[in-house]
Amino acid sequence: MVLVGRKKRSGEEGMQLQLGKYEIGKTLGEGNFGKVKYAKDVQTGHPFAVKILEKTRIKNLNFSDQIKREIATLKILKHPNVVRLHEVLASKTKIYMILEYVKGGELFETIASKGKLPESEGRKLFQQLIDGVSYCHDKGVYHRDLKLENVLVDTKGRIKISDFGLSALPQHLRDDGLLHTTCGSPNYVAPEILNNRGYDGAVSDTWSCGVILYVILTGYLPFDDRNLAVLYQKIFKGDVQMPKWLPLGAKNLIKRILDPNPETRITMAEVKVDEWFKQDYTPAITNDEEEDDVEIDEDVLSLHETPMDSERGPVSPTHINAFELIGMSSSLDLSGFFEKEDVSERKVRFTSTCSPRKLLEKIEDTASQMGLGVQKKNGKLKMLQDHKGQRKSFNLSVIAEVFEINTSLYVVELRKTSGECSVYRQLCDKVLKDLEVSPSQENLAAKLLEES
């Protein structure tokens, strides 16, 4: 167990957090599970970035496996274009990942501030990206969420691939030798991932690299639309609009990478021998012969779930991503999903920024006021109306469930599983009224895309 305390430094106002031999400073960024802060080794003065993860939040969102996967992945990767993990510490409430400090920021910020980059500069970044990603593939690691936000650029123009939370290892392959988890970011995802028939992680990563190259050289995304269904149609077609001023060599390479057919898409090895790619190319020197010096605190692994207290009720929502959200909407069209829906015969959904606990408590109160019995199980509420006081026969059975889109936006579903519709309509109308459901479709759709 690492000792964490606060240390007063002479000549400075305020307190500095002391984490073992590291002194923690300003916040560099924030994520779903905690913050990333600047850190310094007090003995050597060497800078680091420390990713501070809240164990409670990880457990509540059932993301323990994802965090362990990221740690296990970074532990084996030692490449100049991949963010290096140096140490993992833990307390009773937090996990501390001591990472390589990259002074410069995200590639996204670079493009947002400068716009498209000159051909030579863009090619240099892309060469480093391909070096880093192909190295990961050689190690059996598939990133699965490559995008501008997950590529850091230091002050000397060197890139560092980061955020391996959605990565996959050989043990995640099924018997068919393919991956089957639908994940990634909508604008960068390969079409075969959306087909739900299995995909090659290396081939889909290559597609994402092609999207990144396009943005680097043009300043905008090759596939973009606020409506996810329309966006995915564009991705399936793979019809990329190439600006006339884009260099011919770059155009040809991008077309070969953004081939919607994974069977004919160019491979990483083929990218490396492409004439445009090879210009002024110097392959990176890897550090595989270094000793495995990543130290991991045993308490990091103490992320076991505690059984739900049936009296306290469910407090944690099911986490869903944009792809699963599409599956919940009819005809793969989100255009009307975020509006307040009329109460149907079987199901109604609405969005809310209220906490899952508050949402479920309010629904439970409303159901109780209407004389419905309420059962709590597996993060859901089951509301029952008995028949003449006999619990064996029900006039109505309704399931209430909360799904998380991101840390501040939730979808609530009230689903009638059996019985008459009249009381179900009353329940839904009262819940919608009590919770004052009136979100703007356009604002919520934009928020979903932004967070995805």
List residues with catalytic annotation: 145
Q: Which residues contact 212 (CB under 8 A, 6 or more apart)?
A: 107, 126, 129, 146, 147, 148, 151, 188
Which residues contact residue 323 at a Cβ distance below 8 angstroms, ignoring those fewer than 6 apart? 182, 183, 189, 194
Helix axes 356-369, 422-434, angle to 10 degrees: 130
- Using CA atoms, how far apart are residues 149 and 380, in angstroms rounded to an integer? 34
- Identify whether the C-beta of residue 183 lies closer than 8 Å to the C-beta of residue 168: no
Residue 184 neighbours by CB distance under 10 Å: 25
User: What one-character DSSP code corresponds to residue 142?
Assistant: B
Task: Give the integer Cα–Cα distance in Å for 158 and 131.
Answer: 12
CB 153 within 8 A of CB 106: yes
- Integer CA distances (angstroms), 82 to 76, 149, 186, in order: 11, 14, 23
Cβ atoms of 145 and 163 within 8 Å: the answer is: yes
- Answer yes or no: are the C-beta atoms of 62 and 319 closer than 8 Å: yes
Q: C-alpha distances in angstroms, 445 versus 31, 348, 439?
A: 21, 18, 10
- Closest by Cα among 194, 137, 135 to 169: 137
Calpha distance 412→352 (Å, rounded): 7
34-41 and 47-54 strand pairing? antiparallel
**Looking at residue 82, what DSSP letter applies?**
B
Per-position DSSP letters for 215-253, written without gaps between them: HHHHSS-SS--SSHHHHHHHHHHT-PPPPTTS-HHHHHH
Amino acid occupying residue 386: D
How far apart are alpha carbons 376 and 402 in whole angstroms?
Answer: 13
Single-letter code of the amino acid located at 364: E
- Dihedral of alpha carbons 176, 167, 129, 251, sign: positive
Check if the beta carbon of residue 59 is closer than 8 Å to that of residue 69: no
Phi first, then psi: give them for residue 211, nearest 5 degrees.
-60, -45
